[in-house]
Amino acid sequence: MSETILITPGNLSLAEMRAIYDGAKVSLNPAAREAVDRSTQTVADIIAADRTVYGINTGFGRLARTSIPTDRLQELQRNLVMSHATGLGNPIDDRTVRLIMALKIGALARGYSGIRWEVLENLVAMVNGDVLPVIPEKGSVGASGDLAPLAHMAAPLIGVGQMRHKGRIIEATEGLALLGLEPLELGPKEGLALLNGTQTSTGLALAGLFATEHAFAAAITAGALSVDAAKGSDAPFDPRIQAVRGHRGQADVAAAYRALLDGSEIRNSHMHCDRVQDPYSLRCQPQVMGAALDHIRFAATTFETEANAVSDNPLVFTDNGDVISGGNFHAEPVAMSADVLAIALSEVGSISERRIALLMDTALSGLPAFLVENGGVNSGFMIAQVTAAALASENKTLAHPASIDSLPTSANQEDHVSMATFAARRLGDISGNVAGIMAVELLSAAQGIDFQSPLKTSPHLIDVMSLIRSKVPHYDSDRYFAPDLEAIKSLVEDGAFLKLMPETLLPSTRTV
């Protein structure tokens, strides 16, 4: 991607964050330099005046009452970074690391952190050179900042730790050399400014949001396809039903279903059938998916606000030289919103699994049992539905709220924490499971549409059928099934169904 996103501190949009996640380069608005330089000078003035200020010339956490002599301040910052780099687990993927770094650049460039412009320029160089810190995924409780992961992000700046370039793990010194950079000597407060903040939690949450949007678009598409495959009614999508309840998400998704089903020959063929009502998994899609959409939008608003926030500590206010300790590093907003998103996403998968089960059941769908001819000899989609059930059930545990947990750290100085990093990180597991469920439903519904031939589905859903059949042929007899599921799961995870959604439906893909 050749696009370059200009980071204007405090003003990154969700669409710009998505572009960075997808590979856009970044540049830092030079207009931000004046505020950055002022905050750096304020820190220098404090040291020159021999004032004792937390985070500048003291220890950290419970060691805040320990004063540090001026000649050891660089050592203090270096030791801080190295001692806090205690992460474990698999590395965070490069796309999310890019986003984490971009959010950190934007936050520090707002001019409340006392960090030099040169440090920000080096972070920009890493992002654009695709030479990225290796950040282990585990080790943050989401308060006092994402200390461990951000220490791993910061360590290469001083020539310590590991980096990744084109899939290869290299030492930080080699990575800096590839970029033409030398290790930095961090100045007063710079290490703390780099480590303190919610950017890891927020970056992971944004990655989860983008994956949720991909799964949601696929779910709307699959749900419409299932309605037609089972000869369900489109009456539940009538705008009058939605209007008298009043929820915006419900009305918006009902409109999306109407658009997808418009012009279906299958629907017209049973307009006057004797079926009174469809099961809830077909009939209540506007209500369930609408509620999910409302909460996706809520979470997106929280994540966008936090992504643009100043969340390190202490904060440097240059108008009067005050340096104030507070708690902006506490990631409770991210944790709670990630919990909401986890629940919404799990429900998207849950109702999809019920539609799959409906399609399997000939008494409910009118289709061949397990969606295959010659049942008995052929098992058809029987165990694919079991896979969907397993994934939906796993999500019930994964969606348990993380934000209600807290373990005190740092000798009870940090006695209530958010667990936001895990709350955000587990969205990747849930969205992967939902993408798998969607793969099963899309293939099941496509199979059902095939059985309705020669009647045709709607023009939009014909396009969906063409996409599915370009990857997976009709299931005429039992075959090795896993590659088919993986092929459609990849379409879901790549966002192939976003283009079928109204322009204003999803938060990070809005074009108007």
List 54, 112, 257, 475, catalytic entry = 54
DSSP 507: G
CA distance 502 to 492: 17
257 is a catalytic site residue:
no
Spatial contact of 335 and 201, defined as CB atoms under 8 Å apart: yes
DSSP secondary structure of 432-446: HHHHHHHHHHHHHHH
- Please say whether the dihedral angle defined by the alpha carbons of residues 294, 297, 301 and 303, taken in this order, is positive or negative: positive
Nearest by Cα to 153 from 478, 53, 145: 145
Displacement of CA 494 from its chain's centroid (Å): 13
**CB count, 10 Å around CB of 179?**
17
The identity of residue 219, as a single letter, is A
Kindly tell me the burial class for residue 312, based on how many C-beta atoms sit within 10 Å of its own C-beta (0-12, 13-18, 19 or more): buried
**133 DSSP β-pair partners:** 163
Is cis: bond before 401, omega within 30 of 0?
no
Buried b (16+ CB within 10 A) or exposed e, 143-161: bbbbbbbbbbbbbbbbbbb
DSSP 68: -
**262 Cβ contact partners less than 8 Å away, ≥ 6 residues apart:** 458, 459, 460
- For the annotated catalytic residues, the residue numbers are 54
